[in-house]
Every structure is written in structure tokens, then in C-alpha cells.
Amino acid sequence: MRMRLQTLLLACALIFPAGLAGATERVMVGEPDWLGARIMANLIGQIISGELGHPVGYTPRTNAGIFAAMDKGKGEIDIHPDVWSPNQRYLVELYVGQKGSVALSPNSYEGRSGFCLPTVFARAHGIRSIGDLAAPRLRGLLDMDGNGSNDIWIGAEGWASTNIHKVKMRDYGLMESLEQKTDPEPDFLARLDAHLSSGAAAVFYCYTPNYQQIRYALTMLEEPAYDPSDYHVVTPDEESDWFESSRVATRDPVTSIRIAYSLRLEEDFPRVARFLTRIDMEAEDISQLSYAVQVDAQSIPDAISAWIAAHPDRIAAWLRP
């Protein structure tokens, strides 16, 4: 009897290897270390496990590591939840364009960065573009440290974008009008919250998706359209006179954010692959989820679960056969 059972199991394993694999293998989701990526990873993971019934695992990794793991097609990592372009253009070109082992979802949401200020204030003072900040009539209205001069938070020290913003302030001619601040982000955010709550205004570096858009009703100031010829960045590591060597006179390039997945999913988990081609998140969705995590102090899984529960139609559309 025991032998027969073993034989039956062996036969089943031989006849239905894919089925067994599909039933037991996990779909591994890469988990880069920034918030938006972790939110997307968890959203994808919960839908795959909860709606499609496949076990899901999460693997924190760098971009390059995730792409390399997807390229192998062995299930080490199957999904990159948050591929930024053109930031990751080399990886996309390598693994999607050249090797063809990784696919990009057709749908994307946009990531934008710039400088924000409360919409109410902007409307009240007719501020639309970054250049408007140099207007003398605004003197003292955007002063966070109380020294009488307007200041602008251009990002935390150490961020690649912060030095770019230093150059940008210079090239926009705002160095005299605005005092640049590079406090760590948590410190700045704490001060910002208090400042805006008091009814004062502030201008600062912001990006979407981000919970700030939800919390403060911000307006992103207009900048000259992105022009690569006017967007030349030299880092301090590259040159000691990086500041002088750099020129940034346009807005940051708009970033397209998509999902990448290993093509092995199309064979081993076709429903998952189909789902990944249909998922269509908006930047505002990510901002809301970030708000829930950052402001409401929800855990990412809880925030995602709530969001999924609140959007059954969208989930159903993504999972339609």
C-alpha cells in the first residue's frame, strides 16, 4: 500500500511538475529600500497571495540586484515593484531591451519633483512659477527660521538631488532671494508641520508620490521644461568645483515608474503576469498610501489591506481573466 502511494506520488510529480511547482513555488517580490517601492511591493504581494492564491515572498535588494535576480529566471526575485525611468535606464535597457528576460508593465505612474508651497498661499500671492519667488513682495512671507529672510528647503544633506537644487537655485537666480536649507528630512518635516499649522507658508523641495501632497494641499511651482542641455550635473565626488561645473536651469525630468517582472512568470504564473500587465496605480494612490504610513503610522501591510478593501472594482479589473 505504501509502495503504491509512493508510486502514485512519483507519477503525479512526473506528470504534473508544473502544477506542483505552481502550487508550491512562491512569487518573490523585490523590495527596494524606499517607501514608495515598499508600498508597491506589498500591494502586489497582497493581491497575488490574497486574490490569486500564490504564496509570496519579499526580498530587500538594490535595483541592480533585483534586475540580476529577475534575469536569472529562477524565482530568486520575480518582480521589481518600482522601476524608475530614466534613473534605471541602463538596467531597463540591459534586461528588457537586450536580454529580454524582464518585461515592463505597460502602465505607469509619474514621479515628479520640484518645489511646493501651500496652494492657498500661492493663489493668494499669485505665485505660479519658481521665478515668482524672487518677488520682493514676498520678502519674509516664506521665512521658516524667523531670521526675516525667505528660505527654501532643498532636500537633506547627502541626497544626490540636494546638490542639484543648489545649482538650480543659482541658475534660477534665487540665491539672493532664498536662503537654502538642507536639514535632515525628519527634522524639516517636523518643523514644516508646525510652521504650516500656524498658518505660515513655506517653500520646499517636494516630490510625488509623497504624503505631503495629501497632507498640506500643495502646489508644485512651474519651472522651465526639462532640457538636457540645460541640465548638466557634476557631483562633488567627481570634481571639487562641482558647483561651478554644474548647470541646472530646467525642471527635473519627469520620472516614469513601472513594474518590472521576470518573463518566467508568463510560463509559471501566467495569471500573475497578466495581473502585472494590468495593474495601474496613480501617483496619488501612492501618495495616499504614503500618508497612511507616514502620517497615520499604519503599517504598510495594514495600509495596503485597507486600500485593497476600498478599491474592489479596480482590483477586479486588474484580475479579470
Partner 1 sequence: MAAQTILRFFPSLLIAVVILLAIAFAEQQSRHVVLQDKTEQVGAALDNVRSRFERRLNGEIQAVSQLAGSFGTLEGLQQAAFERQTERLLAGRPEVLRTELARDFIVSFIHPLDGNDLRLGLDLRDQPRSIDTLQRMGSTRNARLYGPLMDQSGAQALAIQVPVLSSSADLTVLEGILTVLVDLDILLQQAGVPDPDGQIDYAILFEEEDGAGGGGTVIHGNPEVIAGAPVSSEIVLPQAGWTILARPSVGWETTRAEAWPRWVGLFLLGGLIFVPALAANWYAVSRRQMVMELEAAQERLTGVVHNIPGAVLSYTMPKGSYQPSSDDRIEFVNRESCKLIWGIEAADAEANVMVLWSQMTDEELLEEFFATIIESATSLRPWHHVWPTTLPDGTEKWLDGRGHPTLLPDGSIRWYAVIADATADIERMAELERQQEMAYLAQKNDSIGKLTGGVAHDFNNLLAVVMGNQELLREELKQIAPDRPELFEFIQNTLQATERGADLTRKMLSFAQRARLEPAVLALNDIVRETYTWAGRTMPESIHLETRLGAGLPLVRIDRGSAESALLNLMVNARDAMPEGGTLSVETSTLQLDPQDPACEMQGLEPGPYVRLVVRDTGKGIAPEILPRIFEPFFSTKPPTAGSGLGLSMVQGFMEQSGGSVRITSDLCEGTAVELLFRAQDAVAEQEPVREEPPERQVGKARILLAEDEYDVRKVLAHTLSRAGYELVEVPSGDAAFETFKQSPDFDLLLTDIVMPGTLQGTELASAIRCMAPELPVIFLSGYAADTVEAGAAGELRDIRLSKPVARNELVAAIEDSLGRGPGGMRADLGG
How far apart, in whole angstroms, are the C-alpha atoms of residue 151 and residue 181?
Answer: 7
Helix, strand, coil tally for the chain in percent (to 5): 50, 20, 35
Of 10-18, 35-43, 115-123, 292-300, the segment contacting partner 1 by CB under 8 A is: 35-43
Is 139 a binding residue for partner 1 by CB under 8 A? The answer is: no
Residue 245 or 277 having the CB closest to partner 1 = 245
Indicate which single residue of 171, 185, 266, 280 sits in contact with partner 1 (rule: CB under 8 A). Answer: 185
Distance of CA 129 to the CA centre of its chain: 24
Contact present, 39 and 293 (Cβ < 8 Å):
yes
Taking the least distance from each CB to partner 1, the nearer of 161 and 298 is 161
Cα dist from 27 to 49, 190, 276, 297, whole Å: 9, 38, 12, 28
Q: Which of 213, 219, 246, 255 binds partner 1 (CB under 8 A)?
A: 255
Site for partner 1 in 82-111 (CB under 8 A): 82, 84, 87-91, 93-95, 97-99, 111
Q: Which residues contact 127 (CB under 8 A, 6 or more apart)?
A: 117, 121, 133, 135, 138, 219, 221
Q: Out of 42, 43, 71, 268, which residue is the one contacting partner 1 (CB under 8 A)? A: 71
Q: Is 151 in the site for partner 1 (CB under 8 A)?
A: no
Taking a C-beta distance cutoff of 8 angstroms, is the pair 203, 117 a contact?
Answer: yes
Alpha-carbon gap, residue 97 to 115, rounded angstroms: 34
**Position among 155, 167, 179, 300 found at the interface with partner 1 (CB under 8 A):** 155
Binding to partner 1, residues 202-231 (CB under 8 A): 207
Distance CA 143, CA 198 (A): 13
State which of residues 53, 148, 158, 228 lies at the interface with partner 1 (CB under 8 A): 158
Please, which residue, 42 or 63, has the CB nearer to partner 1? 63
**305 lines the binding site for partner 1 (CB under 8 A):** no
Site string for partner 1, 260-299 (x = CB under 8 A): ----------------------------------------
Bond preceding residue 17 cis, omega within 30 of 0: no
SS3 at position 49: helix
SS3 260: strand
Q: Which residues inside 5-34 make contact with partner 1, applying CB under 8 A?
A: 32, 34
Residues that bind partner 1 (CB under 8 A): 32, 34-37, 61-65, 67-69, 71, 82, 84, 87-91, 93-95, 97-99, 111, 113, 155-163, 184-185, 207, 234-240, 255, 257
